[in-house]
């Protein structure tokens, strides 16, 4: 048992997040979505959408105003669709928000009640009195530098069981009150037709018993790997989050998620033990 714990603790350092790459293009794109299930979003499982900025234009971005919205669709937008309210988080990789000093980078909720559609805007303006940054490490303002290419925003929501079979969609939206979707580059170049990779829609499916046992973290490719071991150790020994689908975590099929399932998982991953039992057909 000590060897099991040592292995599990070691691999907590190398937790691999279950994410699916979508796009990475010029301008603004949906980079990836965490917790997809074979390309779909599962009910009651938070789905995280990561937004990327790629400035391959011939100038620094001095200002921007963008917005994004979630909505449900069934061959058309559902006006009465419901999901958990959108949450959002600015990801300040490379300290990029410090480049915008006149109007610092902020988000604005337009509607985040989980009904019909949820919309959040993000904008920033740098001080035009300061010189452009000389690389990603500059803290003097100057806007988003040429060559910046990174994830900057995380949006999250959770589909509900009432909408299994429908689709959860994410798309661009105007930033009010100016009704703008743009980047403003040095030299007074304004891109109001800034590329966006969407809209993107994902079918809503059941969360349990749609893949294989042992896929504790519900990774999109149905892999059984180190990340599942880490999540199970966290739940059993440190009071971490309960697995989203206990049925898929019950490798021994005894109705409980406990250390016996952890032993089975370690055996399968590290010692060529028997594969997880399939679901009854």
Burial 222-256 (b: 16+ CB within 10 A, else e): ebbbbbbbbbbbbbbeeeeeebbbeebbbbbeeee
Report residues of the chain scoring pLDDT below 70: 1-25, 127-141, 209-211, 220-221, 279-281
Q: What is the pLDDT of residue 100?
A: 92
Domain residues of the chain, as ranges?
Answer: 2-14+225-270, 21-205
Q: What is the pLDDT of residue 91?
A: 97
- Which pLDDT tens digit goes with each residue over 17-30? 334 444 456 899 99
Strand 149-157, strand 19-21: pairing = unpaired
3-state secondary structure of 238: helix
Q: What is the pLDDT of residue 220?
A: 62
The model carries a pTM of 0.74
For residue 42, what are the β-bridge partners? Answer: 205
Protein fold of 21-205: Immunoglobulin-like (2.60.40)
Q: What is the pLDDT of residue 221?
A: 65
> Scanning the structure block, which residue is given the tokens 């959002």?
88
Neighbours of 76 (CB within 10 A): 6
- Which pLDDT tens digit goes with each residue over 212-242? 788 887 776 677 888 888 888 988 888 877 7
Q: Are 157 and 118 in contact (CB under 8 A)?
A: yes
Sheet strands (E) in 206-251: none
Q: What is the pLDDT of residue 128?
A: 56
């Amino acid at each position: 048992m000590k060897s099991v714990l040592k292995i599990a603790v070691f691999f907590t350092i190398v937790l691999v997040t279950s994410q699916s790459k979508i796009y990475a293009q010029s301008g603004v794109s949906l980079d990836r979505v965490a917790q997809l299930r074979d390309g779909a979003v599962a009910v009651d499982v938070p789905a995280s959408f990561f937004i990327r900025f790629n400035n391959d234009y011939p100038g620094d971005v001095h200002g921007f105003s963008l917005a994004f919205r979630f909505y449900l669709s069934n061959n058309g937008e559902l006006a009465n669709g419901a999901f958990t309210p959108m949450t959002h988080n600015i990801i300040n990789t490379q300290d990029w928000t410090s480049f915008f000093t006149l109007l610092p980078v902020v988000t604005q909720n337009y509607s985040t009640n989980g009904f019909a559609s949820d919309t959040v805007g993000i904008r920033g303006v740098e001080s035009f009195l300061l010189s452009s940054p000389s690389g990603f490490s500059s803290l003097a303002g100057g806007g988003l530098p040429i060559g910046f290419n990174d994830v900057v925003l995380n949006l999250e929501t959770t589909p509900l069981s009432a909408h299994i079979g429908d689709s959860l969609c994410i798309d661009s939206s105007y930033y009010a009150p100016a009704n703008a979707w743009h980047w403003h580059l040095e030299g007074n170049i304004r891109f109001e037709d800034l590329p966006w990779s969407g809209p993107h829609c994902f079918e809503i499916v059941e969360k349990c018993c749609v893949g294989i046992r042992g896929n504790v973290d519900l990774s999109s490719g149905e892999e059984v790997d180190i990340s599942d071991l880490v999540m199970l150790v966290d739940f059993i020994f440190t009071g971490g989050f309960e697995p989203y689908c206990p049925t898929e975590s019950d490798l021994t099929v005894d109705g409980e998620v406990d250390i016996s399932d952890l032993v089975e998982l370690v055996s399968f991953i590290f010692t060529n033990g028997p594969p997880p039992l399939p679901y009854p057909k």
